[in-house]
Amino acid sequence: MVTVSVPGKVHLMGEHAAVYGKPALLAAINLRLRVTVEVGTNGIEVVSSEPSDYIRHAVDVVSREYKFLHLPPMKISVVSDIPAGFHLGSSAAVAVGVVGALTYFLKKVWNPAAINQIAYEVEKKMHGFPSGGDNTTVTMGGLIWYRKELEFLKSIWQLPFKIPENLNHFFLINTGRPKETTGEMIEYVKSKVSARGGPAYGRESQKSKVEHYFDDNERQTRRLAVAIKEANEKELIGAIHVGERTLEGMGVVSKKVIPLIRAIETAGGAAKILGGGGKKEGVGFILCYHRELNNIERLCAREGFTIQAIQLGEEGIRLEKK
């Protein structure tokens, strides 16, 4: 029997802008998914609340990668604390966890770099052309700096420092699943980038406005990384404030959640959307920073939202039992 565990992840900054060559800062979190592979009795048995076809796809990719003509009977069990569809890296965790557990079960090899590379191929089934940021974050853990340099070239680095204890006061606020998919939100922003306009129309074009938000988002991503390294709470809060405004300017933050974000800011904290966002209803989870959980709980109760504390910068994939 082999059991591995894998963390979820959050985008600290860089959603949407990263699609256009701007940097993103990601962090592994202390919600984990566990995959157990053991000897089975008949074929490949999957026991999981996660999509079984996605897990079987991961098995096929591992089989092809290592050129197995026949796999032994196996039972694969997946148990997860990471809610699916909320931009916390659940599909990446499934891919990394299944690949890692299978590789060790079949070959007795533990190589996170190889696991990450194979998991990226698995992720293509779920996301088409994923950035590689999610699977790398949940594999390596800690803080990850990601940037797409060219269509065929991506820079992905694990930062050589951790979230300081005095800054690890983050919460997830559940505003409800978005009506729109991440893909739809990406296309929505893309439509603004390609929009026509300009001085001939007596106003700034939509394209130039959105590109301005991308540039400002990059500045805040860099500012946030420096703030974490230097344990500077004031700069961290300021970077999240401005970064959230850039996302609102892109039109990916619904009016339903903006009042809560403003209330958190007034209370001395900071908050931003995660992932693709949403236009009509909820935006999934909001990432919130504040030192006083009780204060945020009162604000969330007023809006009917739930809240949970999380730790950022957690360990990546881990071999739990062999």
Express each pLDDT in 15-25 by its tens digit.
Answer: 899 888 999 99
Tracing tokens 């893909």 back to the chain, one arrives at 183
Q: For residue 264, tell me if it sits in a domain.
A: yes
Q: Are residues 290 and 179 in the same domain?
A: yes
Q: For residue 142, tell me if it sits in a domain.
A: yes
Of 119, 142, 162, which residue is a domain's last?
162
Pairing relationship of beta strands 285-289 and 170-174 according to DSSP bridges: antiparallel
Q: Are residues 146 and 66 in the same domain?
A: yes
Q: Are residues 191 and 252 in the same domain?
A: yes
Q: Whole-angstrom Cα distance, residue 289 to residue 22?
A: 23
Q: For residue 321, tell me if it sits in a domain.
A: no
In tens, the pLDDT along 109-152 reads 999 999 999 999 998 877 666 677 889 999 999 999 999 888 78
Tokens encoding 281: 């209803």
CATH number of the domain enclosing 69: 3.30.230.10
Residue 17 is given by DSSP the state: G
Q: For residue 322, tell me if it sits in a domain.
A: no
Q: Are residues 93 and 211 in the same domain?
A: no
Q: Are 133 and 24 in contact (CB under 8 A)?
A: yes
Q: Are residues 70 and 40 in the same domain?
A: yes
Give the three-state DSSP class for 59.
helix
Q: Are residues 29 and 151 in the same domain?
A: yes
- The answer to whether residue 93 scores a pLDDT higher than 80 is yes
Q: For residue 51, tell me if it sits in a domain.
A: yes
Q: Are residues 182 and 288 in the same domain?
A: yes
Question: In angstroms, how far is CA 236 from the centroid of its own chain?
Answer: 19
Q: For residue 275, tell me if it sits in a domain.
A: yes
pLDDT level of residue 201 (50, 70, 90 thresholds): very low
- The answer to whether residue 205 scores a pLDDT higher than 70 is no
Q: For residue 202, tell me if it sits in a domain.
A: yes
Q: Whole-angstrom Cα distance, residue 133 to residue 12?
A: 12
Question: 118-132, 208-222, 265-279, 291-305 — which is least confidently predicted?
Answer: 118-132
> Which pLDDT score, from 0 to 100, does residue 122 have?
92
How far is it between the farthest Cα atoms of the chain? 72
- The answer to whether residue 199 scores a pLDDT higher than 80 is no
Residue 71 is given by DSSP the state: P
Q: For residue 193, tell me if it sits in a domain.
A: yes
> Which pLDDT score, from 0 to 100, does residue 129 have?
65
Q: Are residues 52 and 175 in the same domain?
A: no
Q: Whole-angstrom Cα distance, residue 169 to residue 57?
A: 37
Q: What is the mean pLDDT of the chain?
A: 91
- The answer to whether residue 158 scores a pLDDT higher than 90 is yes
Of 162, 179, 210, which residue is a domain's last?
162
Pairing relationship of beta strands 74-80 and 44-48 according to DSSP bridges: parallel
- The answer to whether residue 84 scores a pLDDT higher than 90 is no
CATH number of the domain enclosing 297: 3.30.70.890
Q: Are residues 71 and 191 in the same domain?
A: no
Of 162, 177, 200, which residue is a domain's last?
162
Q: Are residues 294 and 256 in the same domain?
A: yes
CA atoms within 13 A on the CB side of 299: 27
Amino acid letter, residue 124: K
Question: 30-44, 63-77, 85-99, 185-199 — which is least confidently predicted?
Answer: 185-199
Q: Whole-angstrom Cα distance, residue 201 to residue 21?
A: 28
Q: How many domains does the chain have?
A: 2
pTM value is 0.89
Q: Provide the residue range defining the domain that includes 9.
A: 2-162
Q: Are residues 244 and 109 in the same domain?
A: no
Beta bridge partners of 144: 26, 158
Residue 67 is given by DSSP the state: T
Please give the average per-residue pLDDT across 255-267, as a whole number: 95
Q: Are residues 137 and 174 in the same domain?
A: no
- The answer to whether residue 175 scores a pLDDT higher than 80 is yes
